[in-house]
Structures are given as C-alpha cells and as structure tokens.
Amino acid sequence: MNKKNNQLNNQSVPKRNEIKNKSNNRNATGVVLQHQSAYQYQGPIPPPEMMEKYKNIYADAPKIILQEFKENSEHIRQKELLEVQGTINRDRRGQWMAFVICMAILGVVFYSLYLGNITFAGLSGLGFIALIATGILKK
C-alpha cells in the first residue's frame, strides 16, 4: 500500500490548460462529471414535451393520462355536488327541526293560557320569542 501511495504522490498534477483540452468527462482527479437537470410542472396534465417523452416510452401513455384526468375531473365534480346536496339536506333538516320545536313551544304557550297559568305561558312565550330572535339574528 505504501508503494501505491508513493506512486500517487509522485504523479505530476496536470496544468489548467491540459485539463481543458481533454475531451472526455473526467476532471483532474479522475471523477466522472455528470450534468443532471430537472424541471417541475404544476397541474393535472403534464406539458406537451413530457407527454411526447411518455409517448416515446409507451405509445398509449398520453391517452391513458388524459383518460385518467377526465375520470378524476368527473369524480371531483360528483364529490362537490354530493357535498352541496349534503349541506342543503342538513340545512333543510335543521329548519324542520326548528319549526317543530317552535310549534311545540307555541303549543305549550297556548295550552298554558287555556289552563289559566299566565305566568308559565308568559315565560314560555318569552322563550319562544328568544328562540326565534336567535334564529333570525344568527343568519
């Protein structure tokens, strides 16, 4: 091993112009230089240049990519439609529940008045008005 180290130490270092004149990809230390480039795109469909590269690898690749984009778009639209319908159904259900509660309280008020319990009818009536006011002001 000492002989190898001595041989490496005794080698002359190439001059700057000697390194430039070499036509291979090796630098003065013998390491292979490589150039890598990468680019990034944003969006669901690759740019045309990349689609062409995919086509060179597999002829049906652009068709498959576009079909996948189409199916994903339909799925997203369907999901958004279901979300909107769910929101509408929830609001409608809440409105029906509020209507039932208000009618029940109003029934209690009228029944209390029928029985002659004015104090309970008045408190129930105030609760009914407060419930409706909070529902209106909430919107």
**Residues of the chain with pLDDT > 90: what percent?**
31
- pLDDT band for position 119 (cuts 50, 70, 90): confident
Within a domain: 131: yes
Within a domain: 4: no
Write out pLDDT tens, residues 55-71.
999 999 999 999 999 99
Question: How many structural domains are present in the chain?
Answer: 1
- H or E stretch including 8? helix 2-10
Within a domain: 3: no
The three-state secondary structure class of 76 is helix
Within a domain: 74: yes
Give pLDDT, residue 27.
53
Residue type, 10: N
Within a domain: 2: no
Within a domain: 129: yes
What domain range is 31 assigned to? 9-138
Write out pLDDT tens, residues 36-58.
877 788 888 888 888 899 899 99
Residue 65 contacts residue 46 (beta carbons within 8 Å) = yes
Within a domain: 114: yes
What is the average pLDDT value for the chain, to the nearest integer?
A: 80
Within a domain: 1: no
